[in-house]
Amino acid sequence: MLTSLGDAGALGGLAILFLAGVTFLADSASASSWRPNYDESKVPSYTLPDPLEMKGGGNVADAEAWRTRRRSEIVELFRKHVYGRAPGKPEGMTFKTFDLEPKALDGKATRKQVTVSVTGKPDSPSMDILMYLPNRAKKPVPVFVLLNFQGNHSIHPDPGIKLSTSWISKNYEGVVNNRATEACRGKAQSRFPVEKILERGYGLATIYYGDIDPDFHDGFKNGVHGALDKPRQGERPPDAWGAIGAWAWGLSRALDYFETDRDVDAKRVIVLGHSRLGKTSLWAGACDERFAIVISNDSGCGGAALSRRAFGETVERINANFPHWFCGNFKKYNDREGDLPVDQHMLIALIAPRPVYVASAEEDRWADPHGEFLAALHASPVYRLLGTEGLPTTQMPQVNQPVMGTIGYHIRTGRHDLTEYDWQRYMDFADKHLRGKP
C-alpha cells in the first residue's frame, strides 16, 4: 500500500497527498489524530544548528577550515542520522552502449542508451541511462541528469527508447502486473520537454529510479542494496543506506559513465530531481562534488524543507509512510526534529560554492515552500564564507519571480509537479553559471 502513494504529481497532487495520509492513518492507531499543520502561526519555535559552528564549539574561521573540517563533519552527520552510508564506486562495474541513433527526433538529437552493470556479474542489478544530445551543439555538451518515476520509455513517445523491464508501480497508466507495456510510452512527457532542452544546447540524461532500487520496502533485499550490502548477521546497522541513499549513489555512477563519454562535458553536469527525487538530487550533489550544479524541484521534507518547522509533511509522517527511504537512525527524530544535529539548510550548504537552485510550487503546501526558501536562505552564510553570493534576497519572492545568485529560488504558481516553467528557469540558471550569460 505504501508505494501506492506514488509520485504525488502523477497521482493528482495535494488532494491525493492528503488522502494518502488519511489512508495511512486508517492503518495506524497511534497516528489517528494527526493532521498536517498548514498554519504559519502554529509553526513551533526552533533554533537551527549553525553550519559554521564546529562540533565541540568554535566558529569555522575561513574557507579552508570549511573545506578541510566542517564540511566533512556535516556530511558525516547526514550519513549517520538521515540518509545512511553508501558504498563507493563498485569494482567490476561495466558500461555497455546498446543503442546509438545519430538522427533521433527528426535529426535533432543523438540518442544513446547505455546499461550500467553494477558489479559486472551476470546476476548484477543494472540501470539503463537514456541520453539525448543536441546535434547542433558543439561537443562536449553540458547535460542535465535526473531520475524518472515511470521508466525511461515514459519521458518521450520515441519508439526507439527501450521499454523498461523493471518493476514499476501499478498506479501508473499502462502498467500491467507491475511491468511497463507499450501503452506507457510518453506518459511522463510533460515533465521532460526534451526538444526545448535540446534547443537550448543542453543534453538530457535520465534513468528509471527503480532500476537502482525499487521504491517499496522489502527489507533492502532487492536493487543495489541486495547486491552491495555485506552479508547480514542480525539487524541492519542503523546508519545503513536507505533508498534515497541508493538513488543518489546511482546518480554518481551515471557521472562515472559520463566521464568516459567524449560527447558529454562531465565537468558541466547538472543534477536535478523532483519530489522524492529532489531529495535525492540534493543528497547526490552534497556527497559528490563532481556535480557542477544541483537542483531541487519541490523536494519538501527530507529535501530542501527545514524539518524543524514541521509544516505539511513531518519527519514522523515520512518515516511512517516510507520506512525505506532514510536510515534507521532517522526514526529517532520522529516528533523530535529539534534534536536533529542537522537541518536541511546544512544539506544545501554542502553544495557550496557550487550553484544550487531550490524551487517550490504555490499549491504544494505539503512540501512547505516557505521552509524550502528558508533552508536556501540559511545556507547562504556558507556560500558567503566561500566568497560567493548565496541567495540574493532575504525576503521570500512573489510567485513566478525567480531570484538567481549562486543560490537560486523560485516559487511558481500551480501544483506539485515539474513543469516547463521550472525547466526554463533551470536552463537560465545553467546559462548564467556555466555559460556566463547574465
Residue 423: CA atoms inside 13 Å, Cβ hemisphere, count?
Answer: 23
The residue (of 16 and 430) whose beta carbon lies closer to ligand GTR is: 16
Instruction: Kindly state the smallest distance separating residue 14's Cβ from ligand GTR, in Å.
Output: 10
Instruction: Find the angle CA(187)-CA(357)-CA(15) to the nearest 5 degrees.
Output: 45
Instruction: Kindly state the smallest distance separating residue 365's Cβ from ligand GTR, in Å.
Output: 12
Give the whole-angstrom CA distance, residue 129 versus residue 90. Answer: 17
Among candidate residues 81, 225, 370, 416, the one labeled active-site is 416
Are 154 and 215 in contact by the 8 Å Cβ rule? The answer is: no
Catalytic residue list contains 164: no
Distances (CA, A) of 395 to 106, 139, 236: 45, 40, 44
The residue (of 265 and 313) whose beta carbon lies closer to ligand GTR is: 313
The residue (of 258 and 366) whose beta carbon lies closer to ligand GTR is: 366
Look at residue 100 and give its three-state secondary structure.
Answer: strand
The residue (of 17 and 240) whose beta carbon lies closer to ligand GTR is: 17
Give the whole-angstrom CA distance, residue 246 versus residue 257. Answer: 17
Give CA 43 to chain center in angstroms. Answer: 26
Maximum Cα interatomic distance, the chain, rounded to a whole number of Å: 60
The residue (of 8 and 116) whose beta carbon lies closer to ligand GTR is: 8
The residue (of 112 and 365) whose beta carbon lies closer to ligand GTR is: 365
371, three cell numbers: 521552509
Residue 177 DSSP one-character state:
T
Instruction: Kindly state the smallest distance separating residue 16's Cβ from ligand GTR, in Å.
Output: 8
The residue (of 300 and 390) whose beta carbon lies closer to ligand GTR is: 300
Whose cell is 545568485? That residue is: 405
Q: Which residues bind ligand GTR (CB under 6 A)?
A: 5, 7-8, 17, 20, 275-276, 300-301, 313, 318
Instruction: Kindly state the smallest distance separating residue 11's Cβ from ligand GTR, in Å.
Output: 8
256, three cell numbers: 562515472
Catalytic residue list contains 252: no
Are 211 and 147 in contact by the 8 Å Cβ rule? The answer is: no
Question: Which residues have C-beta within 8 Å of that of residue 242, sequence separation ≥ 6?
Answer: 83, 84, 324, 325, 326, 327, 330
Instruction: Find the angle CA(330)-CA(13)-CA(270) to the nearest 5 degrees.
Output: 65
Query: Helices 71-78 & 276-287, crossing angle to 10 degrees?
Result: 140
Look at residue 130 and give its three-state secondary structure.
Answer: strand
Give the whole-angstrom CA distance, residue 149 versus residue 21. Answer: 20
Instruction: Kindly state the smallest distance separating residue 250's Cβ from ligand GTR, in Å.
Output: 16
Instruction: Kindly state the smallest distance separating residue 418's Cβ from ligand GTR, in Å.
Output: 10
Among candidate residues 252, 275, 281, 307, the one labeled active-site is 275
Instruction: Kindly state the smallest distance separating residue 101's Cβ from ligand GTR, in Å.
Output: 31
Catalytic residues: 275, 416
